[in-house]
Amino acid sequence: MFMRKFTPVTIALLCSWLAPTSLAQSTSPLAGVTLSQSKGTATFSAPMQVIILLTFLTVLPAVIMSVTPFLRITVVLHFLRQALGTQGTPSNQVLIGLALFLTLLIMQPVVLDVYNKGWEPFESGQLTWQQAFQDGSGPLKTFLTRYVREKDVKLFLDISHTPPPKRPSDLGLTVLVPAYVISELKTGFQIGAVLYLPFLVIDLIVASVTLSIGMVQLPPVMLSAPFKILLFVLVDGWNLVVGSLIRSFYST
């Protein structure tokens, strides 16, 4: 009975009175997310900034592992540990920490360029987010282009049916990122295979000696492991491997 007293005209007047006159005057946003406008530029509210930040933090590990030297470094360190035959030493946490700090060292100039050309102008209101993304992705594209193979770029251009650009800087991130991942995987496997060779020679020599003297019950891996570790320590292997990895990014 109470609802019958509200005619369609009354409901329309009530809705027009409750509705906000503009986006800037909205005082009861949905779920606390608003988009306020000031001086012609749009700024996100605090809840919306938190949502964007959490989304970015969710994607950040995949970005670090895919579009940075972290990929090549972790692959090489994994092959090195397998070649040494030390099982879980160094642990995964140690190897990942070393790879992360080496990645920060190599990517520091690129990150600073991205911040200065993209985020800083956007934060000060000089650029829109589209322009900031385009300008900020420039240094990252330059970095990826230096280490990507032309064959891999052509593969993803054919898959996406994208015409080849006139300049390498015109390539999109949707093509550069997967091409860079494949290129880095191949480079990491090549370096890992080279690291395996001297330790493989030690394994073959120890296995031949143990078989020739009739020590069949003793695994050759147990005898070759101390020799491999001793060789790696004598040649200062960590310095050589880490130095070669860092120089491989600066020499290209």
**Residue 199 and residue 84 in contact, taking contact as beta carbons nearer than 8 Å:** yes
pTM: 0.73
Question: What pLDDT, on a 0 to 100 scale, did the predictor assign at position 24?
Answer: 39
**Residue 246 and residue 106 in contact, taking contact as beta carbons nearer than 8 Å:** yes
In which band, very low, low, confident or very high, does the pLDDT at 234 lie, cut at 50, 70 and 90?
very high
Distances in whole angstroms, Cα of residue 136 to Cα of each of 73, 86, 144, 170, 209: 25, 43, 14, 14, 59
Tokens of 197: 């060779």
Stretch 175-194: mean pLDDT, rounded? 92
Q: What average pLDDT does the chain have?
A: 78
Q: Which residues of 156-168 are buried (b: 16+ CB within 10 A; e: fewer)?
A: bbeeeeeeeeeee
Whole-angstrom Cα distance, residue 70 to residue 97?
Answer: 10
Question: Highest mean pLDDT range out of 117-121, 145-149, 218-222?
Answer: 145-149
Stretch 76-100: mean pLDDT, rounded? 89
Whole-angstrom Cα distance, residue 85 to residue 82?
Answer: 5
Stretch 168-184: mean pLDDT, rounded? 87
88-98 pLDDT tens trace: 788 889 999 99
